[in-house]
Amino acid sequence: LKSDDYPRVIERYRHHYFAGEEAVVLFDGVRPGLESLMARGHLLAVATGKSRRGLDQILETTGLGPLFHGTRCGDEGFPKPHPEMLEILLDTFGVGRDAALMIGDTTHDLEMAKAAGVDGLAVTYGAHDAAKLAAAAPLASVHTPAELWQWLERNG
């Protein structure tokens, strides 16, 4: 691939990526779990490698936007595993690192948490498998959304 081809490849990637966004389906229990956390007074935020446009579209399509107090995207600064996204969210909301939890489905998420001095919880039902996530030394690993909500109820 020549550098002259990059803009065309990026445009085609975006075309196909956004064409599938309407097919986004939430894992069972995600909405009630997030609503429960919010009702209990937790601040919820997203730190994603997605672009701002991509995240905004997903939050609108799923209707989850109002459940999050803040968001940071990969095109707004340093990419994961650099801790900047997480540090900005913590600073914005005045949350100490010891009072925060990064829940992630990739090693990049867990490495970002570690770099920011925040505990990381692995969810194995996303992008990276359990063995790969375990190698990043998370606080714990959960394998279903139901396990996630149970873990948070016991530990959060």
pLDDT band at 101; cut points 50, 70, 90: very high
pLDDT in tens, 47-86: 999 999 999 999 999 999 999 999 999 999 999 999 999 9
pLDDT band at 128; cut points 50, 70, 90: confident
Residue 60 per-residue DSSP state: H
Mean pLDDT check: name the lowest of 93-97, 126-130, 144-148: 126-130
- DSSP letter for each residue of 129-141: -HHHHHTT--SEE
Write down the pLDDT at residue 145. 94
Write down the pLDDT at residue 6. 62
Strand partners, 141: 122
- pLDDT exceeds 50 at position 17: no
CA distance 122 to 136: 9
- DSSP letter for each residue of 106-156: SHHHHHHHHHHT-EEEEETTSSS-HHHHHTT--SEEESSHHHHHHHHHHH-
In the block, residue with structure tokens 């097919």: 23
pLDDT in tens, 131-156: 999 999 999 999 999 999 999 999 97
Report the mean per-residue pLDDT for the chain: 89
